[in-house]
Each structure stands twice: as structure tokens, then as C-alpha cells.
Amino acid sequence: MAALFKARKALSLCLSGCRSLSQLAELPETHQILRQTCRDYADRELTPIAAKLDKEHAYPAKQIQELGAMGVMAMEVPEELGGAGMDYLAYTLAMEEISRGCASTGVIVTVNNSLYIGPILKYGTEEQKTQWITPFTTGEKVGCFALSEPGNGSDAGAASTIARQEGDEWVLNGTKAWITNSWDASATVVFATTDKKLKHKGISAFLIPMPHPGLSLGKKEDKLGIRASSTANIILEDCRIPLDNMLGPRGAGFKIAMQTLDSGRIGVASQALGIAQAALDCAADYAHKRTAFGAPIGKLQAIQFKLADMAMALESARLLTWKAALLKDAKKPFTKEAAMAKLAASEAATFCSHQAIQVLGGMGYVADMPAERHYRDARITEIYEGTSEIQRLVIAGQILKEYQP
């Protein structure tokens, strides 16, 4: 009897493992339809306007609403709260296809999904979820995530924004820097120190609506890429919020931030994949059409080697990203894989877009072709949500733990 039970358990474990592994080779049908739907949307609605959005630094409000209607702005959120109730692999696929059309739209989507909704979904009370998630599922409102400060980016534990309790309110003071979506957001998750003596264990997370008295925005940064998304400082000057606006337990802020970034990394990896794919598409198409030395340049080994290296970097990063997503969906530890995915994908994005410009030659340098925009969009993926250097530290930390004697 026991043997039968063991055999059945082993079989189901094997099947679930097999299912995950085979998903790397071929996606389930729903995910294929989802991927195709997002690709169709990106091809028809994002790619034609991406250059204009970039040139005008214009927030794609209409497209964000359409994506909201499709369920893309709140993919992991359960349907009862207004979301799409999908798994992280689905989110990864959607992010890649959307970013392939427009990287700026991609970052707006991922910040809303992973960085704003993510922590509230995990740590919020039921009332907080209803108040702070449901209105942000339709695309009409987007949120943002305020961790970095002018004085600390990678050094997140050194948060100098302070939150002190005054009666039945929290009063926040400080400045947050580099906040994506800031000028378009209706709410933010903010990290502030509640107990300075506890160092990084004294940081807590808060929810602030936007606009709000005591919260003001710095000037919109003039960025190299992802220009259709707004990036600015958030300045808190005696910003008062109810005690109920604390997210999660007091002092858990650093942990919340790190866990949120773990998941967010997979979103950014997917964005980087989309940019890399768009760059590869551009280069491969050009290789067929452009002739030099009497034949299409795709016949030249120099170009062929570039295309091969680009495709390989992209595909390896994609598999790492899917694996991280599958591990997260299976509720297994995924910190190392997420860091690897983000590192590989962002470096693939910069590599592919760099080589794409090279394949296009002079045409790669001008705005007539999208290669130069991919190059500019790709660069940030190695920096935000954990620089490549931090990713390496995270990976090394996990490996050393695994090999702990």
C-alpha cells in the first residue's frame, strides 16, 4: 500500500517536473495563444508609434488602457481583485512581446505589475489590496516603486528617508530618486527608515496616493532611452499618511524590497529579451535586403557570425528567464535564477542592439531605422532593478551558500 502511494507520488512529481521541463521546449497552448495575442497587439499598436513616443517623450496612455483591458497591467493579480490571474511564465511572455514593440511601454507595464502591485499582493491586508490594487488593474491608474535615493541606489540598506509616527499618522521626509512612472502614477510604494538604530532592519514600506500633500515631483529626467516613461525624483516634505498605510510589518521594508526586486528582475529580463529580439529582427531583415560586394550582406560570414552570436545570446537568456519564471510558479526558490536571467538578458540586449547597429552600418546610426532606439533602450536594463554588478553578487552569494561546507 505504502509502495503504491510512494510510486504515485513519485510519478506526479516526475510529471510536474516533466511538465516544467517540456514547457522550456514548447509552451502550453494557452501560453502560445497569449504570446501571439500580445505579439499581435505589439505589432499593430506599439511598433508603429514607438519611434514617435520616444521622440516626444510621450506617455502612451491609450495603449496602457488597452493593455489594462486585456489584463496585462495586473497579470498575477487574482480575478477577484480585477486581475488576469495568470502565472509568471505568462507574464514573462507578455512582457517580452510588448517590449519588443515598445521598450518604454514595457517598463511602464513591468513597474506596475512587479514593483507596485507585487509587494501589495504579497504583503497587503485585504483592505489594502482592494484599495491599492483593484483600481490599478485597468490601465487607468499606474503605480510606482520608490526605493532608490540620490545618496543610495545599490546600497538600498542606507535609506535616509525617515518616517516618524505622530499620533495617528506617519510623517515622511526625504527624497527618492529615479522613480519610473512617477509623473504618471496615482500611487507609490515608498521605503523609509522607521528605526535608524536597526539599520536595514529598521526600514518599513508605505503606500502613498499621488498626488498628495507633502509629496512633490522633481523634474522629468531627460534619459538616453525608454523616454516615453517618466523618471523623476519624489520629494517628501512632512508628507502625512494614516497609520494604515504601512505595508507589511514594521521593519520588514528591506525584506519586502529585496523580494519584490527578485520578481521584478524576471520582468526586466523579459523586457531586455524583447529589446534584444527587436534588434535581432532588425539586423536579420537588413541582412537579407542590403547588398554589398554583389550579394545580400547576409551571405558574408562576418554578418552571419554576428547574427549567430546575437541569436545565441538571446535564446540562452530567454531560457534562463523562463526557468526563473517556472521556478517562481512552482513556488521554489528562484533568487539565483532570476539574477542570472536579468544579468544574461540585459547583457544580451546591449550586445544584440550594439551588433544590430554594426550590421546596419550607417543606417544603424540614424533614426530612420529602429536600431539606434533599441541601443538606447537596452542600456538601462543593465542598471535598474539591480545593476549587473549587484546581480553578480547575488549569484555568487547563492553559489557560496550552496557550497557551504
Partner 1 sequence: MSGRVLVGVKRVIDYAVKIRVKPDNTGVVTDGVKHSMNPFCEIAVEEAVKLKEKKLIKEVVAVSCGPQQAQETIRTALAMGADRGIHVEVAGKDYETLGPLQVSKILAALAKKEDAQLIILGKQAIDDDCNQTGQMTAALLDWPQGTFASEVSLEGDKVKVVREIDGGLETIKINTPAVVTADLRLNTPRYATLPNIMKAKKKKIANVKPADLGVDLTSRLEVLRVDEPPQRQAGMKGSTELSRRDS
Nearest distance in Å: CB 238, partner 1 = 41
Taking the alpha carbons of 26, 28, 33, 35 in that order, is the dihedral positive or negative?
A: negative
Catalytic position from the list 45, 126, 385, 389: 385
Interacting residues with partner 1 (CB under 8 A): 29-30, 32-34, 36-37, 40-41, 66, 69-72, 75, 79, 84-86, 90, 94
Q: CB of 239 within 8 A of CB of 213?
A: yes
Q: CB of 123 within 8 A of CB of 263?
A: no
C-alpha 56/C-alpha 200 separation (Å) is 40
Phi first, then psi, for residue 159 (nearest 5°) are -55, 125
Query: 333-353: buried (b, 16+ CB within 10 Å) or exposed (e) per residue?
Result: ebbbbbbbbbbbbbbbbbbbb
Q: H or E element: which one contains 340?
A: helix 335-360
Nearest distance in Å: CB 39, partner 1 = 10
Nearer to partner 1, 78 or 157 (CB): 78
C-alpha 15/C-alpha 371 separation (Å) is 43
Please state at what angle helix 301-329 crosses helix 88-101, rounded to 10 degrees: 150
Contacts of 58-65 spanning 24+ positions with Cβ under 8 A: 58/228, 59/108, 59/183, 59/184, 59/228, 59/229, 59/230, 60/102, 60/104, 60/105, 60/108, 60/228, 61/184, 63/102, 63/105, 64/105, 64/108, 64/109, 64/139, 64/142, 65/138, 65/139, 65/140
Q: Is the peptide bond before 60 cis (omega within 30 degrees of 0)?
A: no
Nearer to partner 1, 37 or 160 (CB): 37
Phi first, then psi, for residue 126 (nearest 5°) are -60, -40
Under 8 Å CB-to-CB from 86, ≥6 apart: which residues?
34, 71, 75, 76
Nearer to partner 1, 7 or 33 (CB): 33
Catalytic-residue membership of 126: no
Catalytic (active-site) positions = 385
